[in-house]
Every structure is written in C-alpha cells, then in structure tokens.
Chain A
Amino acid sequence: DTAVSQTPKYLVTQMGNDKSIKCEQNLGHDTMYWYKQDSKKFLKIMFSYNNKELIINETVPNRFSPKSPDKAHLNLHINSLELGDSAVYFCASSRSGGARQETQYFGPGTRLLVL
C-alpha cells in the first residue's frame, strides 16, 4: 500500500495554463505539506495543513493555492503557470504536532515542466 501518493507523476504543460496536483495519504496523519524541489535539488516548504487548517504559508506567489478537502488529501492548484514553476513538487505528511519532531513521509513527487 502506498503511504503518500501523488498524481500525476509527470506533468508537461504550456505557460499560462492552470493545473492541479493531487496528494493523498493513508497513514492517518493530521498534517500534510507541499514542498518544491528546484533543478539544483534544493527543497523548500511551500504550505502545511493541520486537520484541514493552513499553518504554514511561505512566500509563495498567490498563483499557488492549496486545498484540503479532508485531512487525508492536500491538493495544489497552480494558476497561470510560468517557466520558473518547473520543478519537482513533493507532498508529505506527519502525525499531529507538525514538523517539530515527527518524521515526515514523502510522496514520490510530481515532475512539472512548463514549456
């Protein structure tokens, strides 16, 4: 059973399009995250939700909007895609208590290429 799953795995799209990436975890965790990994492998947090409530919102363009329909799902919607949005996006989850000491479990990543 996949613990944290993301769809799609690959996403190639044109500049200006709107796209969504879906994330689901079956670990019963309360906290979920979105990270962006750039071409140099640098990993930076974008958002974090705890029980469907936004708790971390880093300096991310407002073209990015996370949505958590329930605590097992955290989707990422991106409007008006730009070339610089090309990256690998990772979803992760952890038990209640947030990032402080809990292990985060990562999905396999979504490779987004904006042309």
Chain B
Amino acid sequence: DAGVTQSPTHLIKTRGQQVTLRCSPKSGHDTVSWYQQALGQGPQFIFQYYEEEERQRGNFPDRFSGHQFPNYSSELNVNALLLGDSALYLCASSRGGRHYLSYEQYFGPGTRLTVT
C-alpha cells in the first residue's frame, strides 16, 4: 500500500518563475492538503482540496493555487516566485468529508524548493 508520494524531491527555481509540485494521496484517501514549512518553523497550511474543489485556504496569497484531479492527485502551483517561497512543501492526505473517521492526515516526503 503506497503512502503519500510527492514529486519532484528537490527543485531549484529563479525569482519570478513559476513552479508546479505534485502529490498522490494514500490509497483510499480523497482529500489533499498542502503545507509550507520554512526552515526551523512548523508547517503552515496553504489549502485543502476535496472533490476537486478548494475547500479551505490558509493565509497565502493568490500566487499559490492548486488543482485536484479525478483520481484525487493534486498539484500546487506557485507563480512569480519570491526568495521567501524557499521551503519544504508538504502534501498530506486524508479521508474526505467531515465524518469523525476522516481526521488523520498522512504526510508525504515533501518537495524542497529553493528560489535563487
């Protein structure tokens, strides 16, 4: 049973460029959440996708956008990259809806983004 997978593992981009990160959820999960973790900090919630729609969003600018596909995989897009966007980007999956069982989020290995 594959867990949460993310690609690529590492990425180096230049300021102003755009980047797309990918995530495949754990088998049986249909909800994907994205987090940004700056060095030495706790993860910060970016947004969550469920049923191919953005269900919840954290305090991130519109430069951060996402998408969820019918197979539940997801993409995170960041436009007009800034140096401050350098971070570990974590994807987490969970079971959908607000049933009490859909509470645990499983994290992927992350994508390390460096903006120069």
Q: Verify that A and B bind, or say they do not.
A: no
State the B residues within 8 Å of A (CB). none
